[in-house]
Amino acid sequence: MQISLSGKIAVVTGAASGVGLATVHQFVESGIEHLIVVDCATELPGSLKNLLESSPDRIQFLRGDVKDRSTHEQYAELAVRRFGGVDVLVNNAGVSVVKPIHEHTEQEWDYVMDTNVKALYWSARAILPSMMQRRSGVILNTGSISGHVGILKQGAYGP
């Protein structure tokens, strides 16, 4: 099914791999007008580099870690300043520590929770004011099968 995102502005976190990268490609294929892609990766995949190089006025990359409040504030400010706001926010970034839950350190637990859960709070705080002002917008939070069924050694990832 082909949909049109013509005239729409989106932000995708976790955009350098997996579902996030596939979402970026689908949004571009669907005619998105402007796109901010967010990831903490130091090395971007070739397909994302190509998109950024071929459409620098259409696609903007922001290197940032979603567990940091400032990353959300930066993409929200960038979206408002450059494009007038955001129509679609895709919270896709996620991490996992693969080991039995009783062996997780507190720092590992916090890393997963701050990235996979608290980041959703930071994104809402940062982007909802502009969506409310525009009286429009949608926030999509991706998930995993781990949120529905237990997977061995992924206790923090899918509690």
Q: Which long-range contacts (CB under 8 A, 24 or more apart) does 130-138 make?
A: 130/76, 130/79, 130/80, 130/85, 130/86, 131/85, 131/86, 133/85, 134/84, 134/85, 136/87, 137/85, 137/86, 137/87, 137/88, 137/89, 138/87, 138/88, 138/89
75 is catalytic: no
* Residue among 75, 111, 121, 157 flagged as catalytic: 157
Residues that are catalytic:
157
